């Protein structure tokens, strides 16, 4: 018997008019796996994350978090049931999401941004929510910012607050949508190091990224999307060095022109393994 995956997507489809944003999406993410999601602009990465959270429900298909359906359930032989909004709200916090635009509440302090959702969404008592927030602030090195408002902290600091807010809900899996793309170059390394630490601590993560060093060196699996489909799924090295799919090799050819360190393959390694 196989273990229950942290996240399962089955048969996801999503259309916007004539555009097929998601088609035939299937994958399981086992607990503790770090997966990067890579693909050209407009291929459907953000749509997929929003579908997984049931914020923008797919037209077809199922999402399961820790073995529980989210949004739409298969209750019997082909019988589909739609969950109530209250049910969705109960299950959704099992997935933590860090949005590219971060979505911090500007009128609240950093501490309130992290404490309030724990009380409102997870029903935690304030003392416990504060304790969790302080532990995360310590871990993310933002304790001294607790009483400031988002407008009074830097982009990199905001990123950490958004991560603390998501982690405070103790999710089974964390989704990140291009966590470094809004940051100044000198802050990118900081956030990547943070994600690397999370990975080493066994956190299950799905990370949309253009940071190919992360995709190659930190993630243990790479999903490559094109035109709404996952067209490659494997170890980063295998996917990157694969010549099997022209779309994938064209993408990495373009990228490696900008990132000279990002080589498609290492011939010596290939011979020795
Ligand atoms: N709400 C919407 N209405 C209509 N079309 C949409 C909507 N959201 C996304 N799309 C279209 O769906 C496709 C996938 O968009 P998506 O934002 O998921 O791409 P992406 O891979 O995240 O791109 P990027 O790397 O630029 O962030 C695009 O063609 C986009 O224009
Ligand atoms: Mg996107």
**What are the pLDDT digits (tens) for 20-40?**
999 999 999 999 999 999 999
| Phi, psi (rounded to 5 degrees) for 144 | -75, -5
Distances 143 to 113, 137, 138 between C-alpha atoms, Å: 13, 5, 6
Q: Which residues lie across from 230 on neighbouring strands?
A: 225
% of the chain exceeding 90 in pLDDT: 56
- Choosing from 46, 51, 56, 57 the residue with most ligand 1 atoms within 8 A of its CB, the one to mutate for a pocket test is 46
How many Å is the maximal CA-CA distance in the chain?
A: 58
Write out residues with Cβ below 6 Å of ligand 1: 16, 19, 21, 39, 41-47
Q: pLDDT band at 259, cuts 50/70/90?
A: low
CATH code (residue 114)? 3.40.50.300
- Look at phi and psi of residue 166 and say left if phi exceeds 0, alpha if psi is from -120 to 50, else beta: alpha
Least confident interval from 41-55, 158-172, 193-207, 258-272:
258-272
Is residue 1, in this structure, part of any structural domain at all? no
The domain in which residue 233 lies consists of: 7-272
Tell me how far the alpha carbon of residue 204 lies from the centroid of ligand 2, in angstroms: 20
- Choosing from 17, 20, 21 the residue with most ligand 1 atoms within 8 A of its CB, the one to mutate for a pocket test is 21
Closest C-alpha to ligand 1, atom 8: 47
Using an 8 Å Cβ cutoff, are 208 and 177 in contact? yes
Q: Is the pLDDT of residue 265 over 50?
A: no
Residue 94 pLDDT: 92
Considering only residues 212 and 33, tell me which one the structure prediction assigns the higher pLDDT. Answer: 33
**What are the pLDDT digits (tens) for 169-209?**
888 899 999 888 777 777 788 888 888 888 888 889 999 98
Q: Which of 194, 201, 269 is nearest to 237 (CA)?
A: 269
Tell me how far the alpha carbon of residue 231 lies from the centroid of ligand 2, in angstroms: 17
Is residue 263, in this structure, part of any structural domain at all? yes
Is residue 2, in this structure, part of any structural domain at all? no
Q: What angle do CA 49, 52, 55 make, to 5 degrees?
A: 85
Sign of CA dihedral 238, 243, 244, 249: positive
pTM above 0.95, yes or no: no
Residue 271 pLDDT: 35
Q: Is the pLDDT of residue 231 over 60?
A: yes
Overall number of domains in the chain: 1
Mean confidence (pLDDT) of the chain: 87
Residue 181 pLDDT: 78
Residue 131 pLDDT: 95
Atom of ligand 1 nearest to the CA of 47: 18
Rounded mean pLDDT, 1-15: 90
Residue 213 pLDDT: 81
Tell me how far the alpha carbon of residue 41 lies from the centroid of ligand 2, in angstroms: 7
Tell me how far the alpha carbon of residue 45 lies from the centroid of ligand 1, in angstroms: 8
Atom of ligand 1 nearest to the CA of 50: 18
Q: pLDDT band at 19, cuts 50/70/90?
A: very high
Render the chain in DSSP notation, one character per residue.
-PPPPSEEEEEEEEEETTEEEEEEEEEEE-TT-EEEEE--TTSSHHHHHHHHTTSS--SEEEEEETTEEESEEEEETTEEEEPPHHHHHHHGGGEEEE-TT----TTS-HHHHHHHHHHHTT---HHHHHHHHHHHHHHHT-GGGTTS-GGGS-HHHHHHHHHHHHHHT--SEEEEESTTTTS-HHHHHHHHHHHHHHHHTT--EEEE-S-HHHHHHT-SEEEEEETTEEEEEE-HHHHHH--S-HHHHHHHHHHHHH-TT--S--HHHHHH-
- Buried residues in 117-131 as b, exposed as e (16+ CB within 10 A): bbeeeeebeeeebbe
Ligand whose nearest atom lies closest to the CA of 225: 1
CA torsion, ordered 22, 174, 85, 58, to nearest 10 deg: 0
Tell me how far the alpha carbon of residue 1 lies from the centroid of ligand 2, in angstroms: 36
Tell me how far the alpha carbon of residue 162 lies from the centroid of ligand 1, in angstroms: 23
Using an 8 Å Cβ cutoff, are 217 and 244 in contact? no
Closest C-alpha to ligand 1, atom 17: 46
Is residue 267, in this structure, part of any structural domain at all? yes
Structure tokens at 122: 């997870």
């Amino acid at each position: 018997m196989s273990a229950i995956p942290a996240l399962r997507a089955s048969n996801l489809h999503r259309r916007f008019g004539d555009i097929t944003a998601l088609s035939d999406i299937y994958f399981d993410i086992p607990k503790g796996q770090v997966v990067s999601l890579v693909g050209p602009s407009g291929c459907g990465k953000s749509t997929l994350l929003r579908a997984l959270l049931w914020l923008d429900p797919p037209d077809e298909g199922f999402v399961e978090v820790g073995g529980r359906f989210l949004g739409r359930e298969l209750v019997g032989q082909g019988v589909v049931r739609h969950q109530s909004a209250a049910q969705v709200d109960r299950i959704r916090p099992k997935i933590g999401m860090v949005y590219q635009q971060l979505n911090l509440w500007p009128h609240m302090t950093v501490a309130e941004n992290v404490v309030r959702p724990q009380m409102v969404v997870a029903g935690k008592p304030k003392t416990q929510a504060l304790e969790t927030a302080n532990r995360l602030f310590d871990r993310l090195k933002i304790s001294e910012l607790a009483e400031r408002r988002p407008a009074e902290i830097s982009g990199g600091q905001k990123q950490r607050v958004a991560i603390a807010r998501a982690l405070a809900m103790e999710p089974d899996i964390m989704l990140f949508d291009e966590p470094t793309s809004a940051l100044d170059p000198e802050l990118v390394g900081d956030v990547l190091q943070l994600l690397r630490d999370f990975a080493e601590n066994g956190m299950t993560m799905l990370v949309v990224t253009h940071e190919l060093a992360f995709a190659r060196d930190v993630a243990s699996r790479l999903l490559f999307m094109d035109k709404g489909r996952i067209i490659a799924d494997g170890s980063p090295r295998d996917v990157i060095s694969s010549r099997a799919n022209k779309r994938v090799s064209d993408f990495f050819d373009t990228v490696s022109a900008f990132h000279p360190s990002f080589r498609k393959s290492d011939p010596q390694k290939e011979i020795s393994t």
